[in-house]
Amino acid sequence: MIWYIIVGVVVILIIAFVVTYNGLVRLRNQVKNAWAQIDVQLKRRHDLIPNLIETVKGYMKYERETLEAITKARNLAQQAASSGPAVRAKAETELSSALARLLAVVENYPDLKANQNFLALQEELTSTENKISFSRQYYNDSVLSYNNKTQMFPSNMVASMTGFKASEFFEVSVAGEREAPKVSFT
Amino acid sequence: MLLLVGYFLGLYFFGSGIGGLIIALVVWGVMSLFAFFQGDNILLALSRAKKISRDDHPRLYNVVEEMKIASGLEKMPDIYIIDDPALNAFATGRDPNRAAVAITSGLLQKLNRDELQGVIGHEISHIKNRDVLLMAITAVLLGTIVILAWYATRILFFSGMAGNRRSSSSGGGSGQIVILVLAIVLVVLAPIMAQLIYFAISRKREYLADASSALYTRYPEGLASALEKLAASTSQLKSANKATAPMYIINPFRKKGMSASDLTSTHPPISERIRILRSMAGGASFVDYDQAYRQVHKTSRRIVPASAMATGAIGLRAAGLEVTEKEPDEIQRARETSDLLWRRSDYKTITCDCGTKLRVPPGFKASSIRCPHCGRINPI
């Protein structure tokens, strides 16, 4: 009788271990996949920028600094592409705010606002910005549930035994992103 | 319920519950298999939806892709457009990898980007939560019960006289009468119960989809103001029917001034959905939606399953990530949408130098066309 109980307990423990382990793997893959999504969208934005600058250049004679700032921010962001979330987030935030400045001054150029090519690019850019923030949102949600699982009892025991480590959030300094671009119409 | 009905019918007619049970299972199996494999195609064909690609309407495509990313869906759903001035949208597809969202042209031109995002978020969450499958199975179950019950009443009625003579000659029919009464009660009640359960499930999934949309977009106001526009319109969708009703974002058959506690509707009242979304002051998570729901309903009942509420606090975002005034206005959106519909019906569009748009029908043979506005000759 006692042997049956021992065997039963062992079997239950093994099943619990397997289930927890599989859950951890699933969440880790979800985090990886979400990270890949962010990567795709960030690359897409980097690819859009030369096109944008080419289109805008002819119209914006007096915005050289703004355009240069974007090119510079883009190059920095591309260099940071192989680093971890924290470094990358910082470089991409710079790029975001440089782009926001450009789109804000577009208001002063009615010709540009009527350009079909520019309108299409603007839609792409807007959407890419949205996609970046949505993929970041999904990534952070995934990281949260993954980290919870690696740190909470009892799954943390399985996690530490099999080497699951907590992931890093992709955080953007709130002030930089949320701040609406200041435009003065004078 | 279905099995119970089948069991008692079988018990009465075949002397064993198993026969009826098997018949019920077979009928149900065939119907759900059919719904499972063909449901989405039928639905799309019934509503005369046309599939569109990225180039047809970049904004719509982008918004769908944004919501796909936000929800963590693996595959991009197909996008369909229904040429109808009524305002509505629906999602379909038996699993998240084979899904589609459809939107009427009327809705597409009425909504701005944030509102469109809210609506698409609602539809995508139907896909993500597998509501389409759930509702299809529930609908098939309901239909089967109604059919079985209908047949059963007829059979009971006609075999009643024959059965009477037999039972009086054999003498002891009291056990059979009990079963007969039970069967009749079930036959009468089952369809009603099934219908009510179906409506209750449908309404609950609508609330859940609203909550998910708020969670994905982090902006409940978008969906709220979209619903407001939907509520204000009076035109009914021509191509909708009773079976496809729960798939739409609002009930396509709704009448004005539907009472708030209506048990026989597939959708909760729009005004109530708007009020809940607008009372989500604290954040965009399920917990916040749940709190708003309880505040509006003044109950302690939860609407979102507790298992889904494990996430932490989630903040709201401000309107539009971009400066909103740069968005196309309603006239522009209407032009975009009509261009798209013309193109979808194989019309060519030529813009004349005077700014007039010439629509060339698909069977047009000549190599040039004269602009009726300014008289210029335009090559095709």
Phi, psi of B57 (to 5 degrees): -150, 85
Q: How far is residue B164's CA from residue B29's CA, in Å, rounded to a whole number?
A: 34
Q: Which chain A residues have a beta carbon less than 8 Å from that of B58?
A: 120, 123-124, 127
Across the interface, of B62, B63, B69, the residue whose CB is closest to A37 is B69
Kindly state whether B69 is in contact with chain A, defined as any CB-CB distance less than 8 angstroms. yes
When pLDDT is averaged across residues A27-56 and rounded to a whole number, the result is 87
pLDDT for A37 equals 85
Q: Which chain B residues have a beta carbon less than 8 Å from that of A127?
A: 58-59, 62-63, 65-66
**For residue A177, is pLDDT > 50?**
no
pLDDT for A176 equals 42
Residue of A172 and A10 predicted with greater confidence: A10
What's CA B37's distance to the chain center, in Å?
A: 17
CA dihedral angle for residue A62, residue A63, residue A65, residue A68, rounded to 10 degrees:
-130
pLDDT for A131 equals 87
Q: Which portions of chain B are predicted below pLDDT 50?
A: 161, 163, 165-171, 256-261, 310, 319-325
Q: How far is residue A23's CA from residue A149's CA, in Å, rounded to a whole number?
A: 9
pLDDT for B296 equals 73
Q: How far is A5 from chain B (nearest CA, A)?
A: 32
Closest CA to B5 of B156, B226, B117, B127: B156
Across the interface, of B58, B69, B322, the residue whose CB is closest to A135 is B69
pLDDT for B167 equals 47
pLDDT band (50, 70, 90) for residue A15: very high
pLDDT for B6 equals 64
pLDDT for B304 equals 64
Q: Where are the alpha helices (DSSP H) in chain B?
A: 2-13, 17-46, 58-71, 105-110, 113-128, 131-170, 174-217, 220-232, 270-278, 286-297, 330-344
The reply to whether omega before B269 is within 30° of 0 (cis) is no
User: What does pLDDT average to over chain A?
Assistant: 82
pLDDT for B122 equals 92
Strand order through the sheet with B49-52: B49-52, B78-82, B100-104, B89-92
Q: Which chain B residues have a beta carbon less than 8 Å from that of A31?
A: none
pLDDT for B120 equals 93
Residue of A174 and B353 predicted with greater confidence: B353
CB contact under 8 A, A131 and B326: no
Tens of pLDDT along B243-302? Answer: 556 667 676 665 544 443 455 567 777 788 888 888 876 666 777 777 777 777 766 666
pLDDT for B320 equals 46
| Range with the largest mean pLDDT of A61-65, A88-92, A168-172, B267-271 | A88-92
Q: Are B278 and B265 in contact (CB under 8 A)?
A: no
Tokens 């989809």 correspond to what residue?
B209
Burial B34-67 (b: 16+ CB within 10 A, else e): ebeeebbeebbeebebbebeeebbbbbbbbbbbb
pLDDT for A117 equals 82
Closest CA to B209 of B289, B149, B137: B289
pLDDT for B5 equals 65
Kindly state whether B71 is in contact with chain A, defined as any CB-CB distance less than 8 angstroms. yes
When pLDDT is averaged across residues A94-119 and rounded to a whole number, the result is 81
Query: Which residue type, as a one-letter code, is found at position B21?
Result: L
> What is the secondary structure of B288-322 as a DSSP string?
HHHHHHHHHHT----SS-GGGG-S-------S-SS
Proportion of chain B above pLDDT 90, given as a percent:
2
Residue of A106 and B170 predicted with greater confidence: A106
When pLDDT is averaged across residues A8-22 and rounded to a whole number, the result is 92
pTM for the predicted model, two decimal places:
0.74
pLDDT band (50, 70, 90) for residue A6: very high
Q: How far is residue A171's CA from residue A115's CA, in Å, rounded to a whole number?
A: 35
pLDDT band (50, 70, 90) for residue A97: confident
Across the interface, of A113, A124, A134, the residue whose CB is closest to B66 is A134
Q: Which chain A residues have a beta carbon less than 8 Å from that of B113?
A: 126
Domain ranges of chain A: 2-174
pLDDT for B168 equals 46
Kindly state whether B309 is in contact with chain A, defined as any CB-CB distance less than 8 angstroms. no
Across the interface, of A30, A103, A130, the residue whose CB is closest to B66 is A130
pLDDT for A10 equals 94
Query: Which residue type, as a one-letter code, is found at position A35?
Result: W
pLDDT for B303 equals 63
CB contact under 8 A, B62 and A127: yes
Tens of pLDDT along B120-134? Answer: 999 998 888 888 778
pLDDT for B306 equals 55
Q: How far is residue B380's CA from residue B365's CA, in Å, rounded to a whole number?
A: 10
Please state which of the four CATH numbers 1.20.1440.20, 3.40.50.2300, 1.20.1440.230, 1.10.3470.10 is assigned to the domain occupying A2-174. 1.20.1440.20
Closest CA to B327 of B182, B148, B112, B60: B112
